[in-house]
Chain A
Amino acid sequence: MAQGELIIKGGFIVDPTRKINGDVGDVAIKDGKIVEKVSSSAKVIDAKGKVVMAGGVDVHAHVAGPKVNAGRLMRPEDKLRAGTCRSNMAQKNGYRMESGFSIPSTFKTGYEYARMGYAFVMEAAMPPLLAPHTHEEIHDTPIIDEAALPVFGNNWFVMDYIRKGEVENTAAYIAWLLKVTKGYGVKVVNPGGTAAWAWGLNCLGLNDRVPYFEVTPAEIMTGLMEANEYLGLPHSMHVHQNDLGNPGNYAITIDSLKLAEGIKTKNKFGREQVMHSTHLQFHSYGGEGWGTFCSKAKEVMDYVNKTKNITIDLGCVTLDETTTMTADGPFEHHLHGLNHLKWTNVDVEMETAAGVVPYVYDPNIKVCDIQWAIGLELALYAKDMDRTFITTDHPNAGPFTRYPRVIKWLMSKQARDAVLNSFKHKDKVLDAISLHTIKRELSLFEIAQMTRAGPAKCLGLGAYYGGLAPGMLGDVAIYDLNFKDMPRDPEKIEAAFQRAACFVKSGEIVVKDGEVVSNGHKKTVWVNAKMPENPQVTRDVTQAFTKGTYTMDIRNYPVRDYLAPHPFVIEYDVEA
């Protein structure tokens, strides 16, 4: 952590955690943390006429791990589309080369997030068995702080405990797994469906039974929410729901969200939700087939708006050529059947699976345009921006480097209309959406809620990230936007968020005038929820390794300390 003092002077401060909306003021940083004031010898950064926000927090992106690497391996052509692979910065300053567009190299990932002023990124799906590799890749991604969510929704231990109704054992297993994989929280991908995929099946309904385990997706989600709250983890259950990407799936989406009713939050980290429903765009589809495909964003958001204990992120389609990758193995096979492009499928023994397929969101295709509109409608129908976060489910709906473009669309009706008017099948698209009728334009305050304060609180990291209050980490982004006189041209909004005028990470200037000037000091964040020894779980886990259910030795399973050399551990005792 950088020593010394810094003061960012005279900017328009936008900090929803303290309800500050554009007041001119200073931000002081000492020893990597925000403080009340610094001495007169502090280094001064002039932010006059510019917007000052906390470092961005990304609640859901696929930026490290085996399926990201599978995508890199199977798509050499993605590197070609990145344009020049040699940034001026790398050239001049001797930093590492950057490559890849939808699946950027680790270096490009770190540098691009930093250029956009992002401080923290959550890797959204880590197969526990392959956690060592995931952590190696996280460590190789410069500047940004990262954490990873291990996947639990198709885990054999979890399904077995939930079938028997054993919440405490489920919780003890989660606590053990988070510790050995240096994981952050409970991710669920297509609960039950990915396990069924090992039999060539899927769970498209909430009450479909998983072969052999005889549990249902509804039981898995409820059981994991109960275990999550038993442990009082910083983050809630984080779910990618069943039946992703299919017309008419909004009904099952709302039914899944309803599972959160009656479950109470219990944690010491300021989190209020018990379920985070991710990339909701993929789950808000109406219609009976691709011909009648339409938006049900309003119906879904009406439910979200009135239900306080859920949070969502958007998963906006950005109309780019990208690479889809998910632990939802059966979905990727389905997608491959639709677009006939190359397909990778991986099974991770006892735990999960994954698939990768390239995808082109072509503006000339009606369905892609409707998907684009749904992502934005979700945000514009949202009433509580502290519970609605900007993502593109990177890289599934578009690369994270398009966040500034999503912000532009949300802040400017003019920008949205320009895209709508460019569609080849505009009339048919308008019949299936309501985006064109929405006049709402989000403010900078609301954008800061959706990219900073909200996701930090949702992750239980509100004490460290997402705000500029004294005591929080010294992560500050300065954007070249005049709060009092916002540009008429929406392209300038996108440009400002794409390349921060300055980004201070952990008290150190890492980006200046949109270019990276330091490799920074990254941290790996993980959770150690300490519980008394649970003999049942210890025995079950040991047996799984010794009796040959796992094909590896338990000694090789945990993530060794050297793989996460800069840990930031959230450690606490679980209260029974």
Chain B
Amino acid sequence: MATVTLKPIKTPELIFEGYSITPDNFAGKTAAQIADLPGHEGKILMRLGDFFEISGNAGETAADTNIVITGDCSRVKYIGARMTAGTVTVNGNADMYVGGWMKGGKVHIKGNMDSFCGIQMEGGELICDGDAKNHVGCAYRGDWRGMKGGTIRIRGSAGNDIGTFMLGGTIIIEKDAFIHVSTHAEGGTVIIKGDVEGRVGGQMVKGDMYVLGKIKFMMPGYQKVDTVEKEVDGVTYKLDHYIGDLGERHGKSKGQIVYANLYVPAAA
């Protein structure tokens, strides 16, 4: 395993599009070659070396490459986007599209993330120690094919539109979220350990949602069917089981209609 360290040396005037910052793009390159990789600041083509001091050579393959960014990336987008293996660690904040479209490997953001993290993700692991803004693990704007696999764990809270059009994978928000959870989803699991304002599972076809805090405004399209004991992220809870969205189309399996499931803490 080889580690490439990026030390931020300049704050971009516009937002820097760091789409080259992935183990896949770094693999097999020396520090000097990595510094020469492209990125855009607005319409201007820049180099990674314009914004980062780079030390250490990459491994032979993406899987052998660890990337560590030692400072703040609040103005760097697309970190780890489309990566397939290896790791990226940011010791600070990151801007939009962290780990978007990623297929494998691991991204760890130690600060906060902006919107669109892990969108249309297919595999791998994305961990954020702080908060995330909107559109965690959702589909690209306009697209009907959302997150397919992998895990996103936000240790803080998230904004709205979590897991829109989700098809698979897991999203865990350890604190609160705002509105629109798993809208249009047809698979996957969303776990929110804190409170949610509302619009949970609107037009959801299939998949699971767990809200361990309070839902302030429940969707009218959900109906309680039973109370169950379930393990959620390693802890067992007694949960009320709702099915929905009753206003949406649903498929059938073995003669039974398959609904989306919403679990909330059982009423005492």
Contacts and interface: CB of A to CB of B under 8 A. Distances in A.
Q: Do A and B come from one complex?
A: yes
A341 B43 contact: no
Interface stretch (B49-57, B102-110, B129-137, B138-146): B138-146
Contacts of A342: 144
B40 interface: yes
A86 interface: yes
A86 B140 contact: no
A69 to B, nearest CB: 15
Interface of A: 74-78, 80, 86, 91, 97, 341-342
B235 interface: no
Contacts of B43: 86, 91, 97
B142 A77 contact: yes
A450 B141 CA distance: 39
Q: Which 6 residue pairs spanning A and B have beta carbons closest together?
A: A77-B143, A76-B142, A77-B142, A76-B141, A77-B140, A75-B142
21 contacts: A74-B142, A75-B142, A76-B140, A76-B141, A76-B142, A77-B139, A77-B140, A77-B141, A77-B142, A77-B143, A78-B142, A80-B140, A80-B143, A86-B40, A86-B43, A86-B45, A91-B43, A91-B45, A97-B43, A341-B144, A342-B144
A86 to B, nearest CB: 7
Contacts of B141: 76-77
Contacts of A91: 43, 45
Nearest to B44: A91
Interface in B210-235: none
Nearest to B45: A91
B248 to A, nearest CB: 11
Contacts of A76: 140-142
Interface string B27-51: 0000000000000100101000000
A109 B27 CA distance: 36
B56 to A, nearest CB: 28
Q: Which interface class (under 10, 10 to 19, 20 to 34, 35 or more) fits B?
A: under 10
Among A74, A75, A77, A91, the most chain B Cβ lie within 10 Å of the Cβ of A77
A342 to B, nearest CB: 7
A187 B210 CA distance: 55
Nearest to B141: A76
A91 B142 CA distance: 27
A75 B140 CA distance: 10
B97 to A, nearest CB: 11
B81 to A, nearest CB: 12
Contacts of B143: 77, 80
A145 B81 CA distance: 40
Contacts of B45: 86, 91
Contacts of B142: 74-78
Contacts of B139: 77
A41 to B, nearest CB: 39
Interface string B128-171: 00000000000111111000000000000000000000000000
Given A86-B40, A341-B144, 19 more contacts: A74-B142, A75-B142, A76-B140, A76-B141, A76-B142, A77-B139, A77-B140, A77-B141, A77-B142, A77-B143, A78-B142, A80-B140, A80-B143, A86-B43, A86-B45, A91-B43, A91-B45, A97-B43, A342-B144
Contacts of A78: 142
A78 B45 CA distance: 23
A74 B140 CA distance: 13
A342 B141 CA distance: 13
Nearest to B40: A86
Contacts of A97: 43
A74 B141 CA distance: 10
A86 B141 CA distance: 20
A76 B141 CA distance: 6
Nearest to A97: B43
A97 B144 CA distance: 26
A86 B44 CA distance: 10
A77 B142 CA distance: 5
Contacts of B144: 341-342
Among B139, B141, B142, B144, the most chain A Cβ lie within 10 Å of the Cβ of B142
A104 to B, nearest CB: 16
A145 B43 CA distance: 29
Contacts of A80: 140, 143
A323 to B, nearest CB: 11
Nearest to A90: B43
B61 to A, nearest CB: 24
Contacts of A341: 144
Nearest to A92: B45
A238 to B, nearest CB: 32
Contacts of B40: 86
Nearest to A73: B142
A403 to B, nearest CB: 26
A181 B166 CA distance: 46
A440 B264 CA distance: 66
A74 B143 CA distance: 10
A97 B141 CA distance: 20
Nearest to A342: B144
Nearest to A80: B140
A341 B40 CA distance: 33
B183 to A, nearest CB: 14
Contacts of A86: 40, 43, 45
A395 to B, nearest CB: 15
Contacts of A75: 142
B63 to A, nearest CB: 25
A359 to B, nearest CB: 12
B47 to A, nearest CB: 14
A90 to B, nearest CB: 8
A500 to B, nearest CB: 26
B208 to A, nearest CB: 22
A475 to B, nearest CB: 31
Nearest to B19: A84
A75 B40 CA distance: 24
A84 B49 CA distance: 21
A80 B45 CA distance: 19
A567 to B, nearest CB: 33
A364 to B, nearest CB: 15
A133 B141 CA distance: 26
A185 to B, nearest CB: 34
A78 B141 CA distance: 10
Interface string B239-256: 000000000000000000
A86 B40 CA distance: 10
Nearest to A358: B144
A457 to B, nearest CB: 41
Nearest to B145: A77
B146 to A, nearest CB: 11
A246 B139 CA distance: 32
